[in-house]
Amino acid sequence: MLKLNAIFALFCLSLLLVGRVSLAVSCPSEVTLGYESYEPFHIKTAEDTYTGLDIDLASEIFKRMKCNLKIVPVPWSRQLKDLEEGNLHVMTSASVTEERKVFALFSHPYVTVRNVLVLRKEASKTFKVTKLKDLVTLKKFKLGVTRNYEYGDVFSKAANLPKFKGLVEEANDEDQNIKKLLADRVNGILVNEITFRALVKRDRSKGQFEIFPLDIGKDELHYMFSKKLINKGVVDSFNEALASTKADGTYQKIMDKFLD
């Protein structure tokens, strides 16, 4: 019986060691992760350091993988190009698309966001639409979106309609879109609800906007890796480390820190 117990103990220890070794993958000497101001996912502090939900979670995961992480400030559109060309290892808050699958690998989803249509306060009183594509029926309506962002299937289908394309105006980021909405340069904007609430809380402008009750859908966000720089084994280990943060409560602490 003692011998069997000893064998069982060795078996359990071997499983534990295998789990640890699987996270200690062969990382590049330095893993670069793209940063663009995108609250509460990406935040630059007064001390010129980087934090935010995506940043803190990625930092924890790569630490567990024993990989060195470097945050690189790059606009989102440029990040996509750099990732495709093999000049950037990782992007965050990425939606999975067929186009991106050609040059990228994706982690398991780590957060789900709801895309919403935001209007100026009181604007919905004369706003009679039940579907996103119905915006084309409104006179001179302009819809603000962020360049190269994905807003889910509902928006993608509407965006293929010729008339709908004519009402879409692109901005560099959500901050710019909110400023355009305040200045009446657009009539509404699309944004994920988490980012919208973080921005209006920061700027104390909550009373100036309203979320229109239109079903635009939810989107799962992933970390996205360049196929030219990162192999599937590294992504698998990343997913294992992500799961371990959930198992020991670290993931929830990071969520609670940045999400209301």
Q: Which domains does the chain have, with CATH numbers?
A: 26-111+219-258 (3.40.190.10), 112-218 (3.40.190.10)
Between 197 and 190, the higher pLDDT residue: 190
Q: Where are the beta strands (DSSP E) in the chain?
A: 31-35, 43-44, 50-51, 69-73, 90-94, 104-106, 111-120, 143-146, 168-171, 188-192, 209-212, 218-226
The total of other beta-carbon atoms located within 10 Å of residue 51's CB is 17
The pLDDT, as a whole number, for residue 200 is 83
- For residue 35, pLDDT over 90 is answered with yes
In sequence order, what DSSP letters do the residues of 68-84 get, joined into one string?
A: -EEEEE--HHHHHHHHH
Mean pLDDT score, 231-258: 97
Are 86 and 78 within 8 A, CB to CB?
no
The pLDDT, as a whole number, for residue 128 is 83
pLDDT-derived band at 257 (thresholds 50, 70, 90) equals very high
pTM metric for this prediction? 0.84
**CA 256 to CA 250: how far, in whole Å?**
10
Mean pLDDT score, 208-219: 90
Tokens 């371990």, residue located: 244
Are 75 and 204 within 8 A, CB to CB?
no
pLDDT in tens, 167-187: 999 999 888 999 999 999 999
